[in-house]
Amino acid sequence: MYDVIVVGAGPGGSALATWLAREGLDVLLLDKQVFPRDKTCGDGLTPGAVRILRGLGVSDSLSRRGYRVDGVSVTTPQGMRIETPIATDGHPGYVIRRIDLDEGLRNAAVGAGAEFIGDVRVTQVIEEEEKVIGAGRLGPLGWQGRVIALAVGANVGLLKPLGLLPARPDFAYAARSYVEGLRGLRHQILFRFDGVPLPGYGWLFPLSDNTANVGALLFGRARRTTYEVLQEFLRHAPIVEMVGDGQVMLPVKSYPLRTDFHKSRIRRSRLLLIGEAAGLVNPLSGEGIHYALESGVLAGESLRDCFDRGDFSEQALSQYERRLRARYQRVFVLASWMRRIYMRESLLDGLGRACARWPDLAQLLVDILLTRKDPLKVFGPKVVWRVLRSLRGPS
Ligand SMILES: Cc1cc2nc3c(=O)[nH]c(=O)nc-3n(C[C@H](O)[C@H](O)[C@H](O)COP(=O)(O)OP(=O)(O)OC[C@H]3O[C@@H](n4cnc5c(N)ncnc54)[C@H](O)[C@@H]3O)c2cc1C
C-alpha cells in the first residue's frame, strides 16, 4: 500500500511525486513509456515554469541542456513584428527538449525517494479500492494507494470510463519539427500569425544559435491536418529565408492539447487529476508545462495536509480543487473568450499596430499570456479604445 500512486511521469506527475517524496511520503510513479522518452511539444518554458523547476531542483538540466530566452517576438497576420521582454524576478524563459526536461524531473522524483516503474500502461482505476491496474512486459500488474493522481496528459482513455472527461472536451492540435542551420535566431521565442490559418499560430523556439523547434498549432478542428499546416508554414517566405540551406529533421510529430480546465472535473473522492489531464493548457497560448508543474505542487501541498492530519474527508481532499480553481478558473474562462474574440486577422493586426504605438500594451498582453496579469484588462475601455483606433491605417 503506497501513500500516493501517480500515473504519468510528465512535468505534472513528476512535480507531484518529487514534492510528496520530499515530504517523506511513500510514492509510486508509473509511466507507460521507458525513460528517457520524448514528448511531442514546442519545448518552451515560461519564467513561471522555470521558477517552479528551480524549486524542484532541476536547474542543472536547464543550464546544461536548455537555451535561455529573454524575450518574445510576435508577428501579426500582415507581417508587423512586436518584441517584448519576458524575464521576471531573475527567471528567464528556456527552451529545452522534453527528453531532457522530463528525464531531469523524473530523476528529481527518484532522488527525492519516489519509486518509478516505466513501461507500464495503466488500463484501469478501481476507485473504491484506490487500486490501479496496469499491463507491463510481465503481464497484468496492480498496486494500491491511499490516493491516486492521474497525470496522463491529453491521453484521455483512462478518464472517460471514470466520468472525469467533459461531454465536449476542447482540443487544440499541434505539429512540431526540429530545424537545424537556421539564421537570425536570438534569445527570443517567435510566435507568427502569418503563414498559418487562424485561429492558430506558427512558432520558432530556439534550442541553440542555429537550431529551433518549429511548429504550428490550430485551435479546434480544421480542414487540413496540423502536419499540412506546418509544411505550409515552413514554405512561408520569411521562414524559408531563415531556414536557408538548413534542414528539417524528421520525424515531424503531432499531438493534441486539452484546454478545458474551466469546465472539467478535476477530482472525485481520492482520485485527483493533475496538469493536462485536468485540461490545464492555456486556451490562448497552448502553454501547458507551467500549469502542469504548478498543479503538481498545489496537489502536493494539499495532500501533505491530508496526510499530516490523517484527514481524507471530502472537505480536506477538495482543498486541491479549491486552490486550483481560485488560481486558474477565471484565467481560463477569460483566455477562451480572448481567443474567440481577438484571434482573427483584422483584430490581430489592429492589436499589433496598437502595441507598436503603446509598448505598455504589448507588455500587458505578454503578462496576460504568462498569467502575471488579469486577462479582464484586455476587455477594459483603455485597451478596446486603443485597438479600435488602430483597426485601420498605420500606427
Ligand atoms: C506540439 C505541442 C507543442 C507544445 N508546446 C508547448 C510549449 O512550448 N510549452 C508548453 O508549456 N506547453 C506546450 N505544449 C503542451 C505541453 O506539452 C503539455 O501541456 C504538458 O506536457 C502537460 O504535462 P503533463 O505532465 O500534464 O502531461 P504529459 O507531459 O503529457 O505527460 C503524461 C505522461 O503520462 C504517461 N501516460 C499517459 N497515459 C498513461 C497510462 N495509461 N499509463 C501510464 N502512463 C501514461 C505518458 O507516457 C506521459 O509520460 C505543447 C503540446 C503539443 C502537443
Q: Which residue has the CA at smallest separation from atom 6 of ligand 1?
A: 42
State whether the beta carbon of 124 lies less than 6 angstroms from ligand 1.
no
pLDDT of 394 above 70: no
What is the grid cell recorded at 351?
492589436
- How far apart (Å, rounded) are the C-alpha atoms in residues 26 and 1? 9
Protein residue whose Cα sits closest to atom 52 of ligand 1: 41
Does residue 244 sit in the same domain as residue 310? no
Q: In the structure grid, which three cell numbers stand for residue 209, read together?
A: 544559435
Residue 69 falls inside a structural domain: no
Residues 296, 8: Cα–Cα separation, whole Å? 11
User: Is there a domain that residue 272 lies in?
Assistant: yes
| Residue in 89, 50, 84 with CA at minimum distance from that of residue 67 | 50
For ligand 1, atom 19: residue with the closest CA: 288
Examine the domain organization and report whether 193 and 282 are in the same domain. no
What percent of the chain stands above pLDDT 90? 84
Cα(386) to ligand 1 centroid in Å equals 37
Choosing from 293, 310, 335, the residue where a domain stops is 335
Indicate the residue among 197, 229, 254 that finishes a domain: 254
Show the beta-strand stretches assigned E in 115-219.
115-117, 121-126, 131-136, 139-150, 171-180, 188-192, 200-206, 211-219
Q: Sign (positive/negative) of CA torsion 24, 30, 34, 37?
A: negative
Give the residues across from 83 on adjacent strands: 73
Q: Does 200 sit in the ligand 1 pocket, CB within 6 Å?
A: no
**Residue-level pLDDT at 294:** 98
Of 142, 173, 137, 141, nearest in space to 33 by CA: 137
Report how far ligand 1's centroid is from the alpha carbon of 174 (Å).
12
Pocket test of ligand 1: the residue of 102, 105, 155 to mutate, having most ligand atoms within 8 Å of its CB, is 155
Length of the chain: 395
Q: Is 153 in the pocket of ligand 1 (CB under 6 A)?
A: yes
pLDDT, one tens digit per residue, over 81-106 is 999 999 777 899 999 999 999 999 99
Question: How far is C-alpha 77 from the geometric centre of its chain's CA atoms?
Answer: 24
pLDDT of residue 182: 96
How high is the mean pLDDT of the chain?
A: 94
At 395 the pLDDT is 44
The average pLDDT across 167-180 equals 95
CA of 37 to the centre of ligand 1 (A): 11
Clarify whether residues 175 and 163 are in a common domain.
no
In this structure, is residue 87 part of a structural domain?
no
277 and 361 in a single domain? The answer is: no
The answer, yes or no, to whether any atom of ligand 1 lies below 6 A from the CB of 31, is: yes
Residue 168 neighbours by CB distance under 10 Å: 8
**Domains identified in the chain, total number:** 3
Proportion of the chain above pLDDT 70, given as a percent: 99
Residue 128 within a domain: yes
Same domain, 104 and 16: yes
* Residue pLDDT, tens place only, 149-166: 999 999 999 999 999 999
Judge if the beta carbon of residue 176 lies within 6 A of ligand 1: yes
Q: Is residue 361 part of a domain?
A: yes
**Residue 105 in grid coordinates:** 524531473
- The Å distance, Cα 257 to ligand 1 centre, comes to 8
Evaluate whether 326 touches 298 at the Cβ level (below 8 Å).
no
Residue 259 has pLDDT above 60, yes or no: yes
What pLDDT is stored for residue 391 in this prediction? 86
Among 144, 153, 107, 146, CA closest to 274:
153
Q: What is the distance between the alpha carbons of residues 260 and 278, in angstroms, rounded to a whole number? A: 8
The reply to whether 145 and 293 lie within a common domain is yes
Summarize pLDDT for 205-255 with one digit per residue, the tens. 999 999 999 999 999 777 889 999 999 999 999 999 999 989 999 899 999
Task: Check: CB of residue 27 under 8 Å from CB of residue 299.
Answer: no
Q: What angle do CA 255, 258, 260 make, to 5 degrees?
A: 165
85 alpha carbon to ligand 1 midpoint, in Å?
27
Does residue 109 sit in the same domain as residue 239? no
Question: Among 38-42, 348-352, 369-373, whose mean pLDDT is lowest?
Answer: 369-373
93 CB within 6 A, ligand 1:
no
- Give the residue from 204, 213, 199 showing the smallest Cα distance to 284: 199
Mean pLDDT for the stretch of residues 52-57 = 95
For cell 481520492, the residue is 270
Contacts of 235 (CB under 8 A, 6+ apart): none
Ligand 1 atom with the smallest distance to the CA of 290 is 11
- What is the rounded average pLDDT of the residues 350-365? 93
Range(s) of the domain holding residue 371: 344-390
3-class state of residue 133 by DSSP = strand
The CA-atom distances, in angstroms, between 102 and each of 10, 29, 259, 289 are 6, 13, 21, 11
Q: Does any domain span residue 81?
A: no
Rounded to the nearest angstrom, the distance between the alpha carbon of 2 and the centre of ligand 1 is 25
Residues 355, 320, single domain; the answer is no
The CATH number that applies at residue 19 is 3.50.50.60
User: How confident is the model at residue 127, as a pLDDT?
Assistant: 86
Closest C-alpha to 329, from 234, 393, 265: 265
Mutational test site, ligand 1, from 39, 122, 272, max ligand atoms within 8 Å of CB: 39
Within this chain, do residues 176 and 194 fall inside the same structural domain, yes or no? yes
